[in-house]
Every structure is written in C-alpha cells, then in structure tokens.
Structure 1
C-alpha cells in the first residue's frame, strides 16, 4: 500500500450549548441546529469517522489499524494499544456554557466503564469579548466546603474563571474540574474516551428531550482534584516555521507551527502517526509531489510510514499532534 495523507469525514454532534460557529467560522457542512462538536478523527465505538477520499475511502481507524498495524499508527503505538486508536480530535463551539465537569483517570475509567481516561487539551481559536473558560479551583477548598457549595448551587463561585483570546492553551488532566464558557471556539485533543462526569448544568432543560441532563456527582466526588494551581494557562514560544512545544503529556504530544513560507518536515524519528489541525489560515501539504490543502477547521492524518512532507503557507498556524 502506498500511503497518503488522510482526511476523515467529520461527525457533527448536537449539544444543548451548541451554536453556529463550526459552520460560520470553519465552513462545516451540516443542516442541523445547535451543533456543538465536530468529531474530526474518532475511534469511539459507534462514532467512528471514515476516510473521506482516495484508495482508503470509507475505512475506519480500526479497519486501517487491523490492516496496516504499526505502518499506520507507529510500531510502539500498535504494541501499546493494538487496534484501538488512542486519540479523539474535535472542534468545539460553545454558544452557551458547557456543564461544569470532570473526567476520570485511566485506572478509574477502566474499572468503571472499560474505557480510557480522558486527559485533554484546549487551543482557543476564537473567543467573543469577555468569553471565559473555567479551569480548576480558585483557592484551596475542602471536600466538605465544596459539597456545601454544590448543595447551595454556588459551586461556580469557587471555580477559577479565566478570560481567553485566540491562541490561549490549557491542559486539562483527569480530575481537574473544567468547563468551556459561552462564546468560545476551540480545538480539543483528548484520549479516546466519551466518559464525562457532569457536576453542574445551570438547571437548564434540553429542548430536544424536555428534561434536565443527568448529573454524576457521586461518581465525580472521588476523582476531583481539589488542589488549586498557581496558573492554569499553558505558556509557549511561537518561533516561526518550527515545531514549538505546546503540550507534551504521557497521553499525547502537541506542537504548534507558525507557518510563514515553506518548511520541510522529517518524521523518521517519531514512531507515531501525525495529525495536523489547521487553527488559522490555510496550509498546503506536499507528499510525493501531490498537494493536499488543510484549511482552518480541517484536520489531516499522516500515517506513520510517511516520513517526509513539506508545508507551505503565507501565514497559518497548525497544531502537530502525535503519540
């Protein structure tokens, strides 16, 4: 098989808090309303994205891994995960705030849900004036005090609120309480998991069901990390035309490339697939003399067997993600 850069057909997800920015800003093609998430690359059961074009069109990640193994995901990745793809890649548009939530660790998720945990990161692509994210607790708090605020409906008062603009980046390890606020459009990179413990949801009713959404406070309580951090936002350099470290965790590595001109990339020493998410501008990726366009809001996967490509743009920013 002669591998080529792969695009997948996104899956669009209705969310009570979804808006229109995925269509208006990222040119996503859907007719539904309240679409909050575009799942770009997914191996979640019953939500598997398929290759959109070329000789491998229609194939899912599991089918590709089953057929090509380490040549597709990297030998080390295949040895660790088998036919499971380790990452879930999304764009998210919050017209209204998401619920206050937390995700369990690998160990807890495996025991309770036979799933991976959900360590994740956010890269803000656009934010309305005064838009904010909620990440972690503002001050040290005991479990007892937290429960009092939860019962009183004042739990928002003890969270850390941070106004955000384009380029702001946050790593959300399991156990850290968090929520995307109204008016934020972002890229999300996470472990392959759809396990979320919802803590507080503004007492709102889902128009589709006529019901309030389920809360999971009993499950959440023993996974919450109550320890506050000095700073929650990730600091990073943005030198042009190089891979600047954004978030390197045990679960994924993400760099950002501020592309101005042409760059040749050699991935021989990275034993993994590479995922590119275009978060600003438009990029032309060239492999074997063929050009592939990656526009803002598009995602492309490079099989591990492809080592050499070039990237070109007058001005663009792309996230470079691998295991």
Structure 2
C-alpha cells in the first residue's frame, strides 16, 4: 500500500439501545433510522463491528485491513510496537434518552483471563446536557462487597452511589472497576480501550418490548468492582488554538483544542491521532489538499501524516497514545 497521506473517515456503526433516542441525528448529523438509537460507534475494530472507510481512495476498506497492510503508517511505530496489529481504542457518541444501566468494566488482568480482551478504562466528554441531567460515578463513601450486595439485593444500590450533576463540557475519567451509569438527558463522546466487556449490575427492573429484563452479571462483577470512593471529574484549561490536556493515562491521552483561527501541527509518526468535533466546524489542510468537517465528525489521522494545518472555529477532542 502507498503511504496513506490523508485523514480517514468511517461509516458510523449505529446501535439501538433500550435507553437511546434521536439526538445523534438532531445534534450530530448521524443517519439514524430508529427512535431508540443509543450509540454511534465512530472508530472500532471490535469483532463484528469493524469500521469501514467512507472517503478517498481507500473507501470501502476496513480499519483492520488498513492496519494489516500498513501497521506503522496507520498506528504509528510506537503503537505498533506495543499493541501489534490491534487498534487499541474505541470511539463512540452516546445519546441517553433514559438512564443507562448501572455497570462496571473489568481491568486488563480480569478481562484477559475471562474474555481474552482488553480491560475498559474510559472517559466521557459531555456534549449536551438537559436540565438536571446527572451521572453515577462510584460510591459516595468507601464501601465493601458486603454493603454493596446488601443494597443490591434490597434494590437500594443507588442510595450508596455518587450522583453528580453534569453539564456540557464536563469530563469524567473512569478507571476500570468504577461503578457508573450515564443518566437520562446526556449526549457524550466516549473514548475507551477497545473492549465490549460490560458487567451490568442493575437495570432499574426495565423490560424490553417483549417484557424481558436484560441480563445482569452480578457474580462476575464482584471481583471487578473498586469499592473505594473515586474522583472522576477532570478540570482542564481551554487555551485557544492550543492542545490542552484533559486526560493523560497509560491507555490514551485526550486534549481539547478550542480552535478559532489556524494551527500548524507536527507529529512524530509514533502514534495515530483522532479528532472528534464536538462543536463548530474545521478544515484540515495536507499537502495542498483541504478536508472539511462538522460537529459529530470523527477523523483518524494516520501516523504517516506528520504535518498538517487545522483551521476554523470549533471545539475538538484530540486523542493519541503517548
């Protein structure tokens, strides 16, 4: 394959969810057809849900094909050395018309042993929040397996969990083991390790259209939960036309770029970069070519693209592996 010299966009993988709505269409321009669309998987190599390119001469190629053919050019030299031909992150937009289930994700060790998967460290960037929207993140105070099980069995689990109001621009970083739930009335950008392993603890006794409750994973979750109080809210700067660090962890680095004008970027070739446009619109210029993006677009800039210019008025999440 020739060196890939342009930003790649992918067909969104749309997911119906019992808690989903229609904001992915009205706010983020996704081509949803169901009124209960909860997720748009923007960039994925999860088995059965692999992203496919929709622009340029690589249109129709899957992300796994691109990595197989040109791992250093797509992933970057350092990422390839660390992860092999695995794309280590998963990017989504979520629309919670109703509360999501209360859930937890296992760490790398448990996920590898049980599911031959990565764990699922993740972060949420709140793009839109209805009045009084909130999230659940961890326990109010240090807890224990015994206290947790007692409240779970009594259907009072919510009473010992931390309930936090959320507004647009808020960021929450959730390490594995953190009990959590996105609340009704939120649209979020989610950045996470490549994993689809979720242990569902409680689902508010909801039933689907056939009257069935969703499966719970109470036993699996017991050893995955962190019963200590955690601090998930991230403060960050928003200096214009600069990459401001929000989250810097072993699995990914996420910056925010409040763009108003023009910024030149120079990359090392060690890692890919992903841009998620959370507000406004912008253009990327590479070797005389111009590519345009709007709110809701997610763009993979291959590691082989080392210099480019970004211009416009937008809020952009910038993600890479350091």
Q: Tell me which residue corresponds to 1:281.
A: 280
Cα separation, 2, equivalents of 1:55 and 1:2: 12
RMSD: 1.0
On the 8 A contact 2:259/2:315 being kept in 1, the answer is yes
How many aligned positions are there? 319
Cα separation, 2, equivalents of 1:322 and 1:232: 20
Q: Tell me which residue corresponds to 1:165.
A: 167
Q: Tell me which residue corresponds to 1:265.
A: 265
On the 8 A contact 2:261/2:311 being kept in 1, the answer is yes
Indicate yes or no: 2:146 matched with 1:144. yes
**Unaligned runs of at least 5 residues, structure 2:** none
Q: Tell me which residue corresponds to 1:26.
A: 28
Indicate yes or no: 2:312 matched with 1:310. no
Q: Tell me which residue corresponds to 1:116.
A: 118
**Residue from 103, 106, 121 that aligns with 1:104:** 106
Indicate yes or no: 2:235 matched with 1:235. yes
Cα separation, 2, equivalents of 1:291 and 1:299: 16
Cα separation, 2, equivalents of 1:31 and 1:62: 27
SS in structure 1 at match of 2:68: helix
Q: Cα distance, 1:2 vs. partner?
A: 4.0
Cα separation, 2, equivalents of 1:65 and 1:2: 12
Cα separation, 2, equivalents of 1:173 and 1:20: 29
**Residue from 32, 39, 60 that aligns with 1:58:** 60
Structure 1, residues 116-154: CA drift from partner, whole Å, max 9, x if none?
Answer: 110000000000000001111111212211111000000
**Residue from 154, 178, 184 that aligns with 2:186:** 184
Structure 1, residues 244-270: CA drift from partner, whole Å, max 9, x if none?
Answer: 0011110111100000111111112x6
Q: Cα distance, 1:55 vs. partner?
A: 1.1
Structure 1, residues 86-137: CA drift from partner, whole Å, max 9, x if none?
Answer: 0000000000000000000111001100111100000000000000011111
Cα separation, 2, equivalents of 1:9 and 1:307: 24
On the 8 A contact 2:22/2:32 being kept in 1, the answer is no
Q: Tell me which residue corresponds to 1:226.
A: 227
Q: Cα distance, 1:54 vs. partner?
A: 1.2
Structure 1, residues 242-296: CA drift from partner, whole Å, max 9, x if none?
Answer: 110011110111100000111111112x610000000111111111111111211
Q: Normalising to structure 1: TM-score of the pair? A: 0.97
Cα separation, 1, equivalents of 2:183 and 2:96: 7
SS in structure 1 at match of 2:57: coil
